[in-house]
Amino acid sequence: MRITFKQIYQDIDNLVCLSNNRNGLNFREIELTRKRLVENIKAIELHTIILKKKDPG
């Protein structure tokens, strides 16, 4: 799970850098980073749902 969060933070930093470099904006790289962020967030949501189902409380 730590790796997922680390990747999310790196992707956010990457998107910020790419959006600040308007002259060299690479839309393909931005889209790939966005997709990776969505996948990681979905994985966290799924993991959280599974943990909640296992929790008897």
The pLDDT value given to residue 1: 60
CB 7 within 8 A of CB 36: yes
Residue-range definition of the domain harbouring residue 13: 2-54
Structure tokens at 10: 């790196």
* Residue 37 burial (10 A CB sphere; 0-12, 13-18, 19+): middle
pTM, 2 dp: 0.57
Name which residue leads in pLDDT, 25 or 18: 18
Tally of domains in the chain: 1
The amino acid at 5? F
